[in-house]
Homo-oligomer: A and B are copies of this chain.
Amino acid sequence: MLDQPDRKQPEKRWRRRSDARPGELTAAAFALFAEQGFAATRLEDVAARAGVSKATIYRYFDSKEALFEAVVKEATAPRFAEAELLVEAFQGTTPDLLRTFFQVARGALSGPLPALLKMIVSESATFPKLASLWADLGVSRMLELVRRIVARGIARGEFRQVDLEAVAPVIMAPVFLLGISKQTFSNTSVQFNPDQVLAQHADVLLRGLELRAEEAQT
């Protein structure tokens, strides 16, 4: 019991590596896909970056496309669950919830999601399947979440009646814009300050949704 914890178990390096390999590969692939795009990324470079040979990729993924799908799924899945939990568990007013939601979104903008988003957009022509997948798993899910927030506000008499279907994309749009812009227009004259933009968005939006005292009806 004494010396065990210190043992590095070098003999397990192999098996452990095997378990980790898919993750290492998707990580390497993610980085390169995000940087150069799907078509411009050579499998050989992905392999090199992961420290394996080209053929090894094919032990874990059937094709370049399959690797791409894995990258997307892996990066997408865990992000949305958090957001959904947040909304369901939130206790305060809906305006506060919306502000918190934007803070979460702002945090996500610093992570890998913008790169992912841009990859989906960029490769949608080449991989309609992927666009479909993401439409279902990403976009729809997020829009539904936003709709639920607005509905909550209406139900609590904080927001006025609005078209839920139409207002959801309006609410998400600046986040989308910031994400795409970050990937597309870095190193150009177009530079958005995410904090300011989202703050301004929240400000205008909440005022636009607000149910004013004189409009309230029992």
Contact = CB atoms under 8 A, between A and B. Distances in A.
A contact residues, range:
35 or more
Interface hub of A131, A134, A169, A193 (most chain B Cβ within 10 A):
A169
A53 interface: no
A95 to B, nearest CB: 13
A110 interface: no
Contact of A170 (B120, B180, B184, B201): B201
Given A121-B118, A121-B184, A187-B132, A193 B166 contact: yes
A81 interface: no
Copies in the complex: 4
Given A187-B132, A197-B166, A36 B174 contact: no
A169 B197 contact: yes
Consensus secondary structure, chain A interface: helix
Interface stretch (A2-10, A15-23, A70-78, A203-211): A203-211
A165 interface: yes
A100 interface: no
Interface of A: 35-37, 39-40, 118, 120-126, 128, 131-132, 134-136, 139-140, 143, 162-163, 165-167, 169-170, 172-174, 176-178, 180-181, 183-185, 187-190, 192-193, 196-197, 199-201, 203-210
